[in-house]
Amino acid sequence: MPDNTLSTRPPVVTILGHVDHGKTSLLDRIRHAEVAAGEIGGITQAIGAYQIDYKGKKITFIDTPGHAAFSAMRRRGGQAADVAVLIVAADDSVMPQTIESIEHIKSAGIPFVIAVNKVDLPGVNPDRVKTDLANNGVYVEGYGGNVPLVNISAKSGAGIDDLLEIILLLAELEELRDNSQDIPASNLVIESLLHPQIGPLATLLVKQGTFKKNDSLYSGKKNIGKIRSMIDYRGKSILEAGPSTPFQVIGLSDVPSVGDILTSSPASPSSLDRGSSGKVVSATDVEKPNILLKADVQGSLEAILGTIKDQANIIASSVGNVSDTDVQTASSASAEILGFNVRLSSSVVKLAEIEKVKFTNFRIIYQLFDYLKELQEKKTVAMGPKIIESGTATVLKVFNFGGTIVYGCLVTSGKFKLGDKIQNSKIASIQLGKANVDEVKKDQEFGVTLVPNIELKPGDIMTATNIEALPASKQM
């Protein structure tokens, strides 16, 4: 059970939905909740996140793009958030990206509310939205389910207060706490880039604890810099940031990857696995080649990123010719530089040779895609058998039966099977109710014993992994 002595934190919210259903308009309308505080003029979307103060309570919003090319960014927003808003236009109802957003929300395992937008348009039928949602496995209140639904107009502001009230209610039911008493303070990287003048930049969302100016930042055990400057969502300098606060950091030595967890002190393997916000690296992350991408224009860059997002670890991407900094960044990340209609000066070519950084330029975009596919296949073969994450569970209770430790858990994603690894241990038994079973799935409560035992406590996150062998055609 949650420790009520821990301080609460603001909810982190993302708004997902089909393109043109009004996500941007809704975000703009919500930001007007700050007018009374006189802050609307200073708010900027530059860091991709912001906060409002509604009736004395803060709410953090992550701004995630809403069109198909950036589905991965929407998925990232869902994973970082505590609550999601699924926006559906009353005149359009459920569309392909609405269904995709539903999948992202369910995958993240977070509560959500339906915002039916454009209800003020003539001739619209909001009940059609309820039917179409039900046909896609989402059952709203009063329609066979418990998912709240609010009719709104982002244009006029109708229903916005009701929406914010429900967001706060869902957050209250989640009992969001700052559980950083026993583990280092941590941030989630929600945006990152290499600025040509400033260097590595990242937008961080504080998951737990408090970060202050001059604090060191660690990725695992590696020190990746010190907080020299903190910029909040209004573009103002701040000296510290608490849980659920977004800020941009200057002072990093490397460009972190989106989704990375940065901590205030070196993290031990156990604390990374046990922390509720710790990043678990999947097999696909490990096998993807590290790429630094350069393109001639922003349109080309976005098109390429939208296509290769699942094929490579993009450590940095930008418009323009390859620079010395690009080469140094690629070298530190053991990355290859791929360019589209860009050039290297003779000095950059020389530095690339010294740093042993490979550069390949392409004039035809599909040749770049084919080349990257070959890189990924070579990487997969070189890696051999891979470790995959099969499920995660939250420890609810710890029982001691004559020296045998049994953990009572709730599966939050995937499944757990006999023989799965939990850190350096294996699952020895699984009990569902009074029966011994071979596996349990999402939303099931179960008891588990580990051999050898690992010290876990209520609230810890248990991650199950197993080894998946390569297909025979790809084995060495």
Domains and CATH numbers, the chain: 12-174 (3.40.50.300), 186-274 (2.40.30.10), 284-383 (3.40.50.10050), 386-472 (2.40.30.10)
How far apart are alpha carbons 321 and 341 in whole angstroms? 9
DSSP secondary structure letters along 416-444: EETT-EETTEEEEEEEETTEEESEEETT-
Residue type, 347: S
The predicted model gives 1-27 an average pLDDT of 77
Phi-psi region of 411 (alpha: psi -120 to 50; beta: other; left: phi over 0): beta
pLDDT at 184 over 70: no
The predicted model gives 349-367 an average pLDDT of 86
Closest CA to 107 of 203, 189, 14: 14
Per-residue pLDDT of 67-105, as tens digits, reads 333 344 444 444 578 899 999 999 999 998 888 888 878
Q: What share of the chain is helix, strand, coil (3-state, %, to 5)?
A: 30, 35, 35
- Residue 297 pLDDT class (50, 70, 90 cuts): confident
Show the CA angle centred on residue 434, arms to residues 428 and 439, nearest 5°: 45
Helices (H), 81-154: 96-108, 126-134
Q: Where are the beta strands (DSSP E) in 275-352?
A: 290-295, 313-319, 336-340
- Among 109-113, 332-336, 404-408, 424-428, which is the least confidently predicted range? 332-336
How far apart are alpha carbons 375 and 91 in whole angstroms? 45
The predicted model gives 291-303 an average pLDDT of 82
DSSP secondary structure letters along 180-196: -SSS--EEEEEEEEEET
pLDDT at 278 over 50: no
CB 321 within 8 A of CB 345: yes
Q: What is the DSSP-derived secondary structure letter of residue 177? A: B
Q: What would the two tokens of residue 257 be?
A: 């990857």
- The residues, any chain, with a CB within 8 Å of residue 363's CB and separated by 6 or more, are 340, 341
Model pTM score:
0.54
Residue type, 399: F
What pLDDT, on a 0 to 100 scale, did the predictor assign at position 282? Answer: 35
Closest CA to 272 of 457, 420, 466, 461: 461
Q: Give the range with max mean pLDDT: 21-30, 87-96, 355-364.
A: 87-96
Per-residue pLDDT of 453-467, as tens digits, reads 888 888 888 888 876
Closest CA to 27 of 58, 57, 47, 51: 51
How far apart are alpha carbons 408 and 17 in whole angstroms? 36
Q: Give the range with max mean pLDDT: 203-212, 262-271, 382-391.
A: 203-212
User: Burial letters for 413-440: b for 16+ Cβ neighbours within 10 Å, e otherwise?
Assistant: bbebbeebbbbeebbeebeeeeeeeebb
